[in-house]
Amino acid sequence: MPNLLVYIKRGIQRKIQVNNLKFKEIPSFIITSPGGCGSISLMKYLENYGKTNLYFSKKYKIFGLGHIYKPSSFLIKKNIKIIIIKRDYEEIYNSLKSRGFLRNSLSMLGDPFPFIYLNIFKNEKKYKKRYMRYLKNFFLNWKKYNKKNIFELEYPKFFLDFNCQKKLKSFLNIKDQNFLKNFPKFKKYDKKNNFIDPSSTLSNEIFN
């Protein structure tokens, strides 16, 4: 039980972090998703074109900036451009479950008790229902943001659709024509043969 109590502390800290989120520098744009949406590949690529949340994670050692679940007053006042990545809810859930990230993901979405139904009541059905509610709230929260400053992408479509990539380029006001030429290709995770999750790799890059 003591190690589970860490989630409560983490959940409270997470709420404080997201509600009061601000930066010492002005981000060029922010990429966020609830997880399981291919956001790491996009963040790493867009880091070549401006100060993204990955830049701030690395420079200031801030955890969880890839999963900001609602806009803070700073983001609103500074008119920061936001890229939201969406995916079918079931696919998100199954992706995170297969990678063992369910509790951590729910914690990142602001739940201080992500372990209740998995570790105490042993009821995945209720856990999934709780998780889906947080997913829904994630996207509803961002619906309140200024529509001119938000751009929605759908995974994996944005890796495959050239027109979608052109619209993203225009939204970010990127002039470099190599943006489209070098845009990352869709690559499904191969979870066999000593698979190392990109989220774990990125975390090691930032905090080690």
Instruction: List residues bridging with 153 in a β-sheet.
Output: 85
Instruction: Tell me what pLDDT residue 2 has.
Output: 46
Domain ranges within the chain, ordered by starting residue: 2-200
Question: Do 107 and 11 meet the contact criterion of CB atoms below 8 Å apart?
Answer: yes
> Residue 205 has what pLDDT?
73
Separation in Å, CA 176 to CA 49, 107, 161: 9, 38, 19
pLDDT tens digit sequence for 135-171: 999 999 999 999 999 999 999 999 999 999 999 999 9
Query: What is the value of pTM for the model shown?
Result: 0.91
Tokens of 64: 């969880």
**pLDDT tens-place string over residues 63-78:** 899 999 999 999 999 9
Residue-wise pLDDT for 7-54, tens only, equals: 898 889 999 999 999 999 999 999 999 999 989 999 999 999 999 999
Closest CA to 4 of 117, 157, 130, 140: 117
C-alpha dihedral, 16 to 7 to 139 to 91, nearest 10°: 160
Whether the pLDDT of residue 187 is over 50: the answer is yes
Angle (CA) 43 49 52, round 5°:
45
Give SS3 for 86: strand
Among 3.30.2010, 1.10.3470, 3.40.720, 3.40.50, name the CATH number for the domain at 2-200.
Answer: 3.40.50
| pLDDT grade for 120, boundaries at 50, 70 and 90 | confident
Tell me: the pLDDT tens digits for 80-114? 999 999 999 999 999 999 988 988 999 999 999 98
Report pLDDT for 193. 67
Helix residue spans in the chain (DSSP H): 2-19, 39-46, 53-60, 73-77, 89-98, 102-108, 124-143, 157-160, 162-171, 178-181, 198-207
The residues, ordered by sequence, that sit 6+ positions from 79 with a Cβ below 8 Å of its Cβ are: 146, 149
pLDDT at 188 over 90: no
pLDDT at 194 over 70: no
